[in-house]
Amino acid sequence: MKNIFYSIAILFTALSCGCHGGGGYLSISTQDTNNSFSFEAKYAEGKTAKLEKYLDSALNNELPLDQNIDLFVNLNGSDKFNLKAKKGWLEIGFDKRNSSLAGYMKVKKLAEGIKQKLSE
């Protein structure tokens, strides 16, 4: 009985280390309601530099995703969204009520691009 218990414990430990040790985990959630759009991604910290390069290119702005940031990003003058990030985590919040359709489409396209980059 002891051998079975130890075998199960070793197997469980090996599997749990293997799931996060390879750096391949990814969790993405999107909520799109009448009033807001939100996007959250939890990813391997090793992908932070790749994501930072994509966002710098897409937004024409340098964002230090390896630091804890919480800021508003201006899209085109009146439209803006909230960006929160740190290594391995990013969140976008967009208020549709005070924004244009073009701004919403840009944020939605940006979220799709982030999802694609993190899935590579």
Q: What is the pLDDT of residues 5-51, one digit of tens each?
A: 555 656 555 555 444 445 578 999 999 999 999 999 999 998 998 99
Q: What is the CATH number of domain 24-119?
A: 3.30.310
Residue 32 in tokens = 């799109």
Whether this prediction's pTM lies above 0.85 is answered by: no
Written as one letter, the residue type at 34 is N
Written as one letter, the residue type at 89 is W
